[in-house]
Amino acid sequence: MDDCGHIVLDGASNVRYVTWVLGARAPATGCVVRSANLDQLSAAGLSRFGELRVAIVIDLRGKAEAAAAPQLDGATRLHLPIEPTVAADLAAERAAGMLSADSAMRVMERTYRNYIVDHAAVFAELLHHVAAANNKSVLFHCAAGKDRTGVAAALVLTALDVPPATIMEDYLLSNRFYRPTSARAADIPDDVRDAIIRVRPSYLEAAFAAMTEGWGSPGEYLEKALGIGPSERAAMRKAIA
């Protein structure tokens, strides 16, 4: 593990400990890991995964995206789907003759807002599993480990009272550690592709703005929308921090 919590897991990218920002090294138990999808782990990757002692894998991908998800030895898989919408939204922008890097960024910002407003139940269940980890390790992921996973990680860190600037620092590490595996779409300009492949501060800021606008603050969102109040936050700190 490097100083950003990065974990080398052959066949997957963007794998890292969520709690590295707390100064945690590589704990034997009670850690939280985030990643891109685990569908293509090599034999070496599977061996390294076993060393992480992950008890539960939470898959945030949509139903079709997760159709080929493997059952990993020693881990219980929990599917909490957040269906992808970005491709359809970009197609609508293109059909309207409005597709550009700027419009793609607006799509991403709107998507992040929708994560917060429309998928509170998913994030609530994820955070409650983390709070109930009881010194067991939890890994959560989506397809790329940067958007749906990025919001989930930001919520975990918010519950642990990590400063917003540090949460943003962690979020932006996806630009360093995510490795796209899909072929480049010929009909998407490079600047549009860059807007959806790379994470930007305005995307996560849109998620936090939605919490403040709808619930008063990120802390109020945790408590009112997700049921993560002081006792649950204390349990999370005890379990993983």
Q: Decide which of 113 and 2 is more confident.
A: 113
Q: Tell me, which fold does domain 16-240 have in CATH?
A: Protein-Tyrosine Phosphatase; Chain A (3.90.190)
Neighbours of 82 (CB within 10 A): 23
Cα separation, 177 vs 198, in Å, equals 11
- pLDDT bracket for residue 241 (50, 70, 90): low
The residues near 156 (Cβ < 8 Å, ≥ 6 apart) are 18, 32, 127, 130, 236
Question: Tokens for 179?
Answer: 């490795």
Compute the C-alpha angle 153/189/151, nearest 5°.
10
| Residue 27 reports pLDDT greater than 80 | no
Cα separation, 175 vs 57, in Å, equals 23
Q: Give the SS3 label for residue 16.
A: strand
Give me the mean pLDDT over the 70-79 stretch: 93
The residues near 220 (Cβ < 8 Å, ≥ 6 apart) are 211
Phi and psi dihedrals of 201, rounded to 5?
-55, -35
- pLDDT bracket for residue 135 (50, 70, 90): confident
pLDDT of residue 1: 55
Cα separation, 9 vs 181, in Å, equals 15
- Bridge partners of residue 87, in order along the sequence: none
Q: How many CA atoms lie within 13 A of 22 on its CB side?
A: 20
Domain ranges within the chain, ordered by starting residue: 16-240
Phi and psi dihedrals of 6, rounded to 5?
-70, 135
| Residue 26 reports pLDDT greater than 60 | no
Question: Are 145 and 33 spatial neighbours (Cβ–Cβ below 8 Å)?
Answer: no
The whole-model pTM stands at: 0.95
Q: Decide which of 180 and 201 is more confident.
A: 201
pLDDT of residue 24: 58
Q: What is the mean pLDDT of the chain?
A: 92
The residues near 93 (Cβ < 8 Å, ≥ 6 apart) are 99, 100, 103, 104, 107
